[in-house]
C-alpha cells in the first residue's frame, strides 16, 4: 500500500507530520533462491579450501588418513562451478 496524496492531506489536517504506516508491513528479505545459491557457493569454496589444506600434509601423513596426493590434487583443482553442481545433484537425489 502506498501513501497517497489524499492520506497525506488528511494526516496534515489532523496535525500528523509523518505519513501513515500501511496496514501490512513486511520487512525486506532476500529471495530464498538467492540465499540458497550463495550458501552453495560458500560450501563449495570451503570444501575446495579443505582439499588444499590437506595437500600441505607430508607424504607420510597422507596414507595415515587414507588419502592420496593425486586424488587431493584432482579435488583441489576442481572448479567451484563443478563442486556446486555436484552438491546440487546430491541434494536432488535425497
Between these two residues, 9 and 52, which has the higher pLDDT value?
A: 52
Residue 1 has pLDDT above 50, yes or no: no
| Domain regions of the chain by residue span | 4-93
Half-sphere exposure at residue 75, Cβ-oriented, CA atoms within 13 angstroms: 19
Angle between helices 80-93 and 32-54 (to 10 degrees): 120
The whole-chain average pLDDT of the chain stands at 83
pLDDT, tens only, 73-92: 999 999 999 999 998 898 88
- Specify whether the CB–CB gap between 59 and 69 falls below 8 A: yes
Q: pTM to 2 decimals? A: 0.62
Count of CB atoms situated within 10 Å of the CB of 89:
9
Amino acid at each position: 500500500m502506498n501513501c497517497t496524496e489524499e492520506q497525506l492531506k488528511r494526516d496534515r489536517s489532523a496535525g500528523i507530520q509523518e505519513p501513515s504506516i500501511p496496514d501490512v508491513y513486511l520487512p525486506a528479505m532476500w529471495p530464498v533462491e538467492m540465499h540458497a545459491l550463495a550458501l552453495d557457493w560458500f560450501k563449495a569454496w570451503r570444501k575446495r579450501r579443505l582439499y588444499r589444506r590437506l595437500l600441505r600434509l607430508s607424504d607420510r601423513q597422507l596414507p595415515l588418513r587414507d588419502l592420496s596426493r593425486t586424488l587431493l590434487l584432482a579435488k583441489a583443482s576442481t572448479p567451484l562451478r563443478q563442486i556446486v553442481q555436484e552438491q546440487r545433484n546430491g541434494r536432488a537425489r535425497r
